[in-house]
Amino acid sequence: MKYIFVTGGVVSSLGKGLAAAALGTLLERRGLRVTLQKFDPYLNVDPGTLSPFQHGEVYVLSDGAETDLDLGHYERFTSCVLTRSNNVTSGQVYETVLAKERRGDYLGKTVQVIPHVTDEIKGRIVRNAEAQPSDVIITEIGGTTGDIEGLPFLEAIRQFQLEAGTENVVIMHVTLIPYIKAAGELKTKPSQQSIAKLREIGLQPQVLLCRTEWPLDLEIRQKLAMYCNVPLPAVVEVRDVAHTIYELPLTLQEEKLDETVCRALRLETPQADMTDWRRFVERVVQPRKHLKVAVVGKYIDLQDAYKSIYESMTHAGAANDCGVDIVKIDSEDIDHGNAGDFLGSVAGVIVPGGFGDRGVEGKICACRYAREHRIPYLGLCLGMQVATIEFARNVCGLKEANSTEFDEKAGDPVICLLEEQKEVRNKGASMRLGSWPTQLISGTLAQRTYGTDQAVERHRHRYEFNLEYRSLLEKHGFVISGTSPDGHLVEMIEVKDHPWFIACQFHPEFLSKPNSPHPLFKGFVTACLANST
């Protein structure tokens, strides 16, 4: 078993997660079984309780874990299917250590960061490695070198390296080489200092991944190699990708990162075959057609809040040889009167997931516009609930239709908590999370789009379609196209006599990959293309 640790220096947002994922792509294509995990130094037990304003999207795994969005990159860039244990936070580590202390497991010892917290961290590295049979496990350490909260993780890696043997461990440090315009020079000092910080705690990276806006010439590479104490070929240049993040594995391959890492780990493997990946990138970079699709949400200004949706649209676009320009619309800006100004020129509308009532009325208006103007509509989670409310209000005449999330006393609670959920809710576990099967109803657009009778999709929501309204809505042309196998939960809906209107209670965006786009996104883009010609 080989271990790669990815640390970050100088500043945050250097794309450590993507670098780890892209290295995963290359190693997997060298025939290695790879798994990835992220260690986050914050004290939240999981990011499920973090606002998108703080942390971007919450990425949901099949086992229902609410995790950091980097796990989304890991799953999209490799074939791994990750589990709860692949996202470790300080909160989880301390929770375990404190529970052990309360149980008396430490037999009267003073409980300390070293060795008890670091032992718990090392234990998790080993347990994950054992649980997920793989040749290489890539561990990304969140945060930036020098952060106080990251120290126990770095100390744990130091001890781990000693125990596992240096030939089995590679530390890859992602750093920034800033360009100082006034001096016309790239600067290596911040990287030197960041490496010095690592050395202070006994860590010496074997690979330096240099984020830079300009090419690194030989002289600067030599300087970095000398001062940061790494071999010259291990100084890897990573400039901002020109078009898409999916170029990154190709860039890293050109820089021979995978070769350097394999050499350091004494792994003899063939070159990675990137032919299909390169073809995918070409389709993303030079599509033959273009489309504009609106995403109407309330976190629209945040680059990361709907990450998986944007990525899924890129995958689906490439499959249709089409570049998708996302028009981001703040749902608080849109109402029935002005919806046409925002949506008049788009080929399709997506309403993504969300919590709380802010911006919901705007989403309802966007959905109505798409239904009435026969624009393809894809509703995701809240986007399905909104579509149900809209249909009940404006087609069935139930003016007081709403979700009890937004109005507890709604006259017509078409979306509500189910009785059995109310019970669970009192016990604190209220969300339906993770993979659940959906039975697709034959003859529906959903079933044709999937081309199968069953789908397994990831969920993250509390409220459900209220089956008491089923027959009334169906009488008016509302179609329930997917349910739980027992028929109790509505998982997908559509609208009759509309070119393409599908909404689902789950999140298909967590299952789309570059060369295997999710059928719903792929079908949606195909419908948008048909609508725009």
Please work out the total of residues on this chain that contact ligand GLN, with binding judged by CB under 6 A. Answer: 10
Mark whether 381 is an active-site residue: yes
Task: Name residue 499's amino acid.
Answer: P
Helix axes 257-264, 16-28, angle to 10 degrees: 80
SS3 at position 471: helix
Q: Are 386 and 363 in contact, with CB atoms under 8 Å apart?
A: yes
- Residue 56 sits in the site that holds ligand GLN (CB under 6 A): no
Mark whether 73 is an active-site residue: no
| Phi, psi dihedral angles at 191 (to 5 degrees) | -70, -40
- Residue 307 sits in the site that holds ligand GLN (CB under 6 A): no
Stretch that binds ligand GLN, among 71-79, 153-161, 347-355, 496-504 (CB under 6 A): 347-355
Catalytic residue among 66, 507, 518, 528: 507
Rounded Cα gap, residues 69 and 58, in angstroms: 6
Least distance CB 10 / ligand GLN (angstroms):
35
Query: What is the DSSP secondary-structure string of 394-447?
Result: HTS--TTEEETTT-TT-SEEEEE--HHHHHHHHTT---EEEEEEEEEPTTSHHH
Stretch that binds ligand GLN, among 158-166, 289-297, 357-365, 458-466 (CB under 6 A): 458-466
Rounded Cα gap, residues 463 and 402, in angstroms: 11
Stretch that binds ligand GLN, among 148-156, 265-273, 310-318, 455-463 (CB under 6 A): 455-463
Q: Give the dihedral sign, CA 360/363/368/369.
A: positive
| Cβ proximity to ligand GLN, 172 vs 382, nearer residue | 382
Answer left, alpha or beta for residue 143, where phi above 0 means left and psi between -120 and 50 means alpha: left
Least distance CB 56 / ligand GLN (angstroms):
15
Q: Among all chains, which residue has been given the structure tokens 């005449």?
A: 397
Binds ligand GLN (CB under 6 A): choice among 28, 405, 491, 509: 405
- Residue 353 sits in the site that holds ligand GLN (CB under 6 A): yes
| Cβ proximity to ligand GLN, 122 vs 462, nearer residue | 462
Stretch that binds ligand GLN, among 16-24, 239-247, 304-312, 352-360 (CB under 6 A): 352-360
Least distance CB 364 / ligand GLN (angstroms):
14
| Cβ proximity to ligand GLN, 120 vs 412, nearer residue | 412
- Residue 355 sits in the site that holds ligand GLN (CB under 6 A): yes
Binds ligand GLN (CB under 6 A): choice among 2, 38, 363, 462: 462
Sheet order of strands, 454-461 included: 322-330, 289-297, 348-351, 377-380, 501-504, 490-495, 478-483, 432-440, 454-461
Rounded Cα gap, residues 227 and 224, in angstroms: 5
| Cβ proximity to ligand GLN, 317 vs 353, nearer residue | 353
Residue closest to ligand GLN when measured from CB atoms:
353
Q: Are 59 and 14 in contact, with CB atoms under 8 Å apart?
A: no
- Residue 461 sits in the site that holds ligand GLN (CB under 6 A): yes
| Cβ proximity to ligand GLN, 253 vs 388, nearer residue | 388
| Cβ proximity to ligand GLN, 381 vs 401, nearer residue | 381
CA distances from 214 to 17, 188, 217, 332 (A): 21, 13, 9, 40
Catalytic residue among 75, 237, 509, 528: 509
- Residue 381 sits in the site that holds ligand GLN (CB under 6 A): yes
- Residue 463 sits in the site that holds ligand GLN (CB under 6 A): yes
Neighbours of 372 (CB within 10 A): 13
Binds ligand GLN (CB under 6 A): choice among 293, 382, 410, 433: 382
Half-sphere exposure of 452 (CA within 13 A, CB side): 10
| Cβ proximity to ligand GLN, 3 vs 299, nearer residue | 299
Host H or E run for residue 517: none
| Cβ proximity to ligand GLN, 255 vs 405, nearer residue | 405
Rounded Cα gap, residues 20 and 13, in angstroms: 13
Catalytic residue among 80, 210, 262, 381: 381
Binds ligand GLN (CB under 6 A): choice among 29, 30, 211, 460: 460
Stretch that binds ligand GLN, among 147-155, 299-307, 337-345, 348-356 (CB under 6 A): 348-356
CA 268 to chain centre: 32
Mark whether 509 is an active-site residue: yes
Neighbours of 422 (CB within 10 A): 11
Which residues are catalytic, by number?
381, 507, 509
Q: Which residues bind ligand GLN (CB under 6 A)?
A: 353-355, 381-382, 405, 460-463
